[in-house]
Structure 1
């Protein structure tokens, strides 16, 4: 441990820690949340929905399988960094080509270990997600406290501009096959436009696997252009992706989504997209105390009564009174929050959890096929 540079952490509740750094040498401010997944740390840290956040892993041993080119959800790490108990610098995996520390350094993200992550997780459960600062440059509580005080809060920042694609592109890769060590090719039937608010690669692969031809477009779309293309039968439906931050920050996107809804275009949405749909329909989202982050969250499908274990990554939720215009199809069994909606006034379905589960269980992956069935009816 003495070979690693010292790092210092200060939380806005006054907690102060000294630990060690195995990632980029930096000073960064972000919101700290905890993740309960036992595996899949590379997919988690490359999920654009973590932009502006520090991820505290409740799993104590991290780094064992290294990193590889396949298990990434985006081209970068948008999270500020990760906090872990034990770091395993020596990795063992036939696909790995970098250690986790090398991967973090390459993407200029912080990695901090030697900290009591159990204490951090229990604190976040009790007090809620909060802002924090981590540094390999400043060592005093007073310096860190002052920098944190002067920094904007995560809900004040629009991270969508950073994580979204700048140009439209077509995604053609399906699921990864370990037999061929390659990605399956699409069997296209219907075409959809995927609006990128921070879309994960595994979502795009599941859309392709469900039979869709997928065109990805940037977050700053214009509804008028999309409506013209829909009327010309250039595509069959729209997908609203996951993404980081407070959905209420995206005022322009909410207005544009309202126009899409008014034209009765079929829409399928996950996570942030699910929240944006609620706001576009006039229903206020709210922030959860510490959110849902991990690959072991139980939900109930209220239509089939079956229990599904799901992957989740969100800290905002939609309100109960949205049941006036939508049928609640899924509920979280931890806290009863809404996980799925089927709108009554339009061909729209949306889900708070991640059916693509990158990483996590695939018990909800059939939702991609359900949207395909919805399009067949329109």
Structure 2
């Protein structure tokens, strides 16, 4: 393994080992508390522009396989792990994690104190960093980092969104046959791809929805015309990376859909964009929510669901003026779900499709289908 050099914007500098792609990358460092599913996390487009620190100390033993990818192309900058295990032992494994990362040009950094790094991020907040297998000088790394764009200044959805419209027909993975299902569909929706995980689209299809996926650069007038003609019954707004407040063009298009009172379901970034389109800006959390073990309370039923989450931004309490808060996070009390008072629109901050994570909330996809 080559030596890797890491410099954080708070001035911390340390050395580690590299087991992924070589080179120099700049990104935001966050931590993820999931115990399993590292491949799904790495291939989640919402991590575009970020280094993911895994709190799980041993990573790599189950290798990698094509079925667990959430997108074909990976967009995170790299991963930090305490100990990398190159020997992979799983009947579904096709290659080592190291081989997978190199094929995707993603950095893999190991032999660092991820517990200490996680504590630092928890206390000081998510921060920018530069990682290199080429530059060893602390001063040069600091200079390069200072001159690089911050994550909130970059529109990453331009990179992660699909380029052309497609129809998604694949349902969820069936563990009995180790294949994906193709259920019958009876309603048609437009899914806007801001960086949608494949399993979100799978769950929409599984709920009985014919899912037409459009790029982030969608035109609301085209969707409204399809709705008026009865060719579609609703719209889904996906998850995605980056700061939602920079997506002014997308917000303007969403406003048109809201005014038309088209049924809409939003997840994660889609949840945040709906709030902004209603006139209520989001705020950045100190270190975000990233993991597969976040308790969320359904305020209507009182039930507590364990959820998968991946976001740095949050809808604020001001949204209560136009929406009913339906779910809250039991870790910090932040808003996790809303239902708008005067429109057929609801959204959640967490990931009901999981992958990885618990499946406690998959009924939300069926609720969307029933609403249509």
Which of the numbers 293, 297, 313 marks the counterpart of 1:296? 293
For 1:226 and 1:172, how far apart are their aligned partners in 2? Answer: 20
* Deviation of 1:179 (Å): 2.0
> Is the aligned partner of 1:177 residue 2:174?
yes
The structure 1 residue matched to 2:46, chosen from 44, 49, 64, is 49
* CA shift for structure 1 position 372: 1.4
Give the drift of 1:176: 1.1
The reply to whether residue 254 of structure 1 matches residue 251 of structure 2 is yes
The answer as to 2:278 corresponding to 1:281 is: yes
Q: State how many pairs are aligned.
A: 372
1:155 aligned residue (152, 158, 178): 152
Do the aligned partners of 1:34 and 1:56 also contact (CA within 8 Å) in 2?
yes
Task: Spell out the pairing of 1:20-35 with structure 2 (5 A cutoff).
Answer: 20-35=17-32
Which residue matches 2:269?
272
Name the SS for the 2:291 alignment partner: strand
Out of 217, 225, 228, the position equivalent to 1:231 is 228
Deviations 1:155-188 (A, max 9, x none): 0000000000000001111111122221111221
Per-residue deviation at 1:76?
1.3
- The normalised TM-score by structure 1 is 0.98
Gap regions ≥5 residues in structure 1:
none
Name the residue aligned to 2:211.
214
- Aligned partner of residue 367 in structure 1, secondary structure: helix
Distance 2:326 2:184 in 1: 28
Q: What is the root-mean-square deviation in Å for CA atoms of aligned residues?
A: 0.6
Gaps of 5+ in 2: none
Q: Deviations over 1:297-321 (max 9, x none)?
A: 0010000001110000001000101
Measure the CA separation in 2 of the matches of 1:307 and 1:119: 30
**Structure 1 residue aligned with 2:348:** 351
Matched position secondary structure for 1:290: strand
State the Cα deviation string for residues 200-248 of structure 1 (Å, max 9, x = none).
0110111111111101000001111111111011111000000000001
Residue of 180, 184, 200 corresponding to 1:187: 184
Asked if 1:140 corresponds to 2:137, the answer is: yes
| Structure 1 counterpart of 2:98, from 85, 101, 104 | 101
| Alpha-carbon offset, residue 370 of structure 1 | 1.0
Selected match of 1:8 from 5, 12, 37: 5
Q: Does 1:88 align with 2:85?
A: yes
The equivalent position to 1:323 in structure 2, one of 296, 304, 320, is 320
* 8 Å CA contact 1:186, 1:212 repeated in 2: no
2 CA distance for matches of 1:36 and 1:49? 16
Query: CA offsets, 1:129-153, max 9 Å, x none?
Result: 0000000000111111000000000
Measure the CA separation in 1 of the matches of 2:170 and 2:345. 25
Query: Which residue of 2 is the match for residue 263 of structure 1?
Result: 260
1:189 is displaced (CA, Å) by 1.5
SS of alignment partner, residue 121 of structure 1? helix
